[in-house]
Structure 1
Amino acid sequence: MTRSAIQTSDAAPPAGPYSQAIRAGDLLFVSGQLPLDPRGSLVGHGDIKAQTKQVFDNIAAILREAGSSLEQVVKTTVFLTSLDDFSSMNEVYASVFKSPYPARSTVEIGRLPGGMLLEVECIALVERTPS
């Protein structure tokens, strides 16, 4: 199986040696996205709803670049610096996805750099490219 990197300037650039996403067959593995705009600046300092929206804007841009969409997401993992933010994050999350919702795990982590409150990664389906 071949794999290919996905990169778009419509989402925050990687902050290290990793790809925004990797396509492997009909699956797309999107790296953890942070609440950074496409220039790499933090959005919504201290505001979990604004940060969650930015994270999903980044994910949507990466999915589009790969030929997928939020409707094709099958699994998400949400990392929160405080589970006290779960309800507010979940409100935005519920506006992003429709039923049937993706499978999801949500975990509290120690911290993220620079005032970031969450990170989200996902796995999505991608249409097979005609051969």
Structure 2
Amino acid sequence: MKKEIISVPGVKAPDSPFNHVVKAGQLLFLTSQLSCDLKTGEIVPGNIEIQTRKALENIKYLLDASDSS
């Protein structure tokens, strides 16, 4: 199965050796989605509800930017 690294414009590249989005066949794999600002990499302050919401927003953004359906 062919593996393709998806680069999302405006998203800060990770400081560690992984990619935010990898496509393999018709599947997308997302890794290490934290409650951070995707442009700066800074963690968003707040309680668990705020941080969970931000992590889910990041996942939605990456999936949308990767043309997921």
User: Could you tell me the TM-score, scaled by structure 2's length?
Assistant: 0.81
Distance of 2:29 and 2:50 partners within structure 1: 24
Match of 2:52 in 1: 52
User: Could you tell me the TM-score, scaled by structure 1's length?
Assistant: 0.46
Q: Secondary structure at the match of 1:32?
A: coil
Per-residue CA distance 1:29-59 (angstroms, 9 max, x = gap): 11020111021111123x1011011101111
Aligned length: 68
RMSD of the TM alignment (CA)?
1.8
Match of 2:25 in 1: 25
**Gaps (5+ residues) in structure 1?**
70-131
Structure with greater proportional strand content: 1
Match of 1:34 in 2: 34
**Gaps (5+ residues) in structure 2?**
none
Offset of 1:10 from its aligned partner?
A: 5.0
* Greater relative contact order (CA < 8 Å, ≥ 6 in sequence): 1
Distance of 1:34 and 1:61 partners within structure 2: 13
In the alignment, is the contact (CA less than 8 A) between 2:8 and 2:66 conserved in 1? no
- Paired AA for residue 41 in structure 2: G
Q: Secondary structure at the match of 2:22?
A: strand
In the alignment, is the contact (CA less than 8 A) between 1:4 and 1:23 conserved in 2? yes
Distance of 2:52 and 2:12 partners within structure 1: 14
Distance of 1:52 and 1:10 partners within structure 2: 21
Distance of 1:13 and 1:52 partners within structure 2: 21
State which structure, 1 or 2, has the greater radius of gyration over its C-alpha atoms.
1
Distance of 1:14 and 1:37 partners within structure 2: 12
